[in-house]
């Protein structure tokens, strides 16, 4: 067992704690992250570009169309399952995740606050009507009959962190408007350049306030939605642990800092805590 995991176990022992997870938590499920040490360069869709240009929306949705079947096959990894198994018996109060893959919920963690939303839903930006992503996929299939196979084999097209495939061919792709009001349909996730809904931010702060230790798992804390929670915890003069491969924007605020993978860390933590109970 590493000294780092031992220090993390000692930090949360007898205390309530909250997990804040990022893309690094899902890399062992086969979903790449944007900023890990081995991550390829990526240009995520910006909110302003998506809403401002129909061509950008077509580009996003054709990539999502090809990527969604593969995204649906992604499963929770041992780290997700171990975190769920730790549960309240370890003092874990819940999970705030920046991920949009739904894997913490699939693994059984509860409660889970999906800070950036979830790919499994599509929302209208005008009337806020919600559509199941699987149903929307069937609609895309119906509107685009005879769509060609990927010009790049699926095994060679890069799956991106937001669940779309890195391809460039729009192939005259047709994207529907909202069936209720003809508004713009968008995945129900927070794009770069878009704000997290205020009520979701308020709930995140409330979850931080309810725990004594904040444990960051697999996030570079590059985006403010996660970093401000770390800063808030540090301002309360309460401990912060950060587990990540590569530097983070919150490192100077960390009480315990582990340069490690999240799966190995959570599995090690689970083993330590279960041994202590015996």
107-161 residue pLDDT tens: 999 999 999 999 999 999 999 999 999 999 999 999 999 877 654 444 444 555 5
26 vs 275, residue with greater confidence:
26
Phi, psi (degrees; rounded to nearest 5) at 143: -80, -15
Residues 6 or more apart from 22 whose CB is under 8 A from it? 33, 97, 98, 99, 216, 217, 218, 219, 220, 221, 226, 244
How far apart (Å, rounded) are the C-alpha atoms in residues 105 and 136? 22
51 is in an annotated binding site: no
How far apart (Å, rounded) are the C-alpha atoms in residues 112 and 42? 27
Across the beta sheet with 92-97, what order do the strands follow? 112-114, 92-97, 17-21, 213-217, 240-243, 256-258
Calculate the CA dihedral of residues 247, 200, 130, 135 and round it to 10 degrees. 40
User: For 48-74, what is each residue's pLDDT tens digit?
Assistant: 999 999 999 999 999 899 889 888 889
pLDDT for 155 equals: 45
Identify the active-site residue in 116, 133, 186, 245. 116
Could you tell me the sign of the dihedral formed by the alpha carbons of 82, 88, 90, 96, in that order?
positive
pLDDT for 146 equals: 82
Overall CATH class of domain 1-31+76-116+195-278 = alpha beta
Return residue ranges of the chain for CATH 3.40.50.1220. Answer: 1-31+76-116+195-278
The pLDDT mean for the chain works out to 89
pLDDT for 152 equals: 46
User: For 192-220, what is each residue's pLDDT tens digit?
Assistant: 999 999 999 999 999 999 999 999 999 99
pLDDT above 70 as % of the chain = 87
Phi, psi (degrees; rounded to nearest 5) at 260: -160, 165
How far apart (Å, rounded) are the C-alpha atoms in residues 220 and 238? 20
pTM: 0.89
- Annotated active-site residue 116? The verdict is yes
Would you call 230 helix, strand, or coil by DSSP?
A: helix
181 is in an annotated binding site: yes
> Strand 17-21 and strand 256-258: pairing?
unpaired
pLDDT for 248 equals: 97
- The first and second tokens of residue 87, run together, are 């549960």
124 is in an annotated binding site: yes
How far apart (Å, rounded) are the C-alpha atoms in residues 122 and 74? 19
Mean pLDDT of 246-269: 97
Does the pLDDT of residue 163 top 80, yes or no? no
Residues 6 or more apart from 116 whose CB is under 8 A from it? 97, 98, 99, 100, 189, 190, 196, 225
**Which of the residue ranges 37-51, 95-109, 133-147, 243-257 would you say has the lowest mean pLDDT?**
37-51
Mean pLDDT of 19-41: 78
Structurally, what CATH architecture does the domain formed by 40-73+120-189 represent?
2-Layer Sandwich (3.30)
With residue 248 as reference, give the H or E element that holds it.
Answer: none
Would you call 145 helix, strand, or coil by DSSP?
A: coil
Does the pLDDT of residue 276 top 70, yes or no? no
Does the pLDDT of residue 166 top 80, yes or no? no
How far apart (Å, rounded) are the C-alpha atoms in residues 145 and 91? 52
Return residue ranges of the chain for CATH 3.30.1600. Answer: 40-73+120-189
């Amino acid at each position: 067992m590493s000294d780092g995991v031992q220090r993390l176990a000692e930090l949360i022992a007898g205390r309530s704690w909250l997990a804040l997870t990022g893309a690094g938590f899902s890399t062992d499920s086969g979903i790449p992250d944007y900023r890990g040490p081995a991550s390829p360069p990526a240009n995520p869709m910006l909110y302003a570009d998506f809403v401002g240009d129909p061509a950008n929306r077509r580009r996003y949705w054709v990539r999502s169309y090809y990527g969604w079947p593969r995204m649906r096959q992604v499963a929770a990894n041992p780290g997700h399952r171990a975190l769920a198994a730790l549960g309240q018996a370890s003092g874990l109060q819940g999970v705030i995740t920046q991920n949009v893959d739904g894997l913490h919920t699939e693994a059984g963690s509860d409660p889970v606050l999906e800070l950036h939303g979830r790919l499994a839903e599509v929302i209208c930006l005008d009337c806020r009507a919600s559509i199941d992503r699987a149903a929307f996929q069937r609609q895309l299939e119906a509107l685009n009959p005879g769509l060609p196979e990927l010009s790049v084999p699926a095994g060679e097209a890069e799956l991106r962190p937001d669940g779309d495939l890195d391809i460039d061919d729009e192939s005259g792709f047709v994207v529907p408007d909202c069936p209720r009001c003809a508004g713009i349909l968008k995945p129900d996730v927070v794009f770069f350049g878009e704000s997290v809904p205020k009520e979701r931010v308020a709930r995140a702060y409330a979850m931080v306030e309810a725990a004594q230790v904040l444990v960051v798992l697999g996030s570079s804390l590059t985006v403010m939605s996660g970093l401000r929670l770390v800063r808030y915890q540090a301002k309360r003069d309460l401990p912060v642990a950060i587990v990540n491969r590569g530097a983070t924007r919150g490192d100077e605020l960390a009480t315990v800092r582990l340069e490690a993978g999240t799966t190995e860390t959570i599995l090690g933590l689970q083993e330590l805590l279960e041994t202590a109970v015996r």
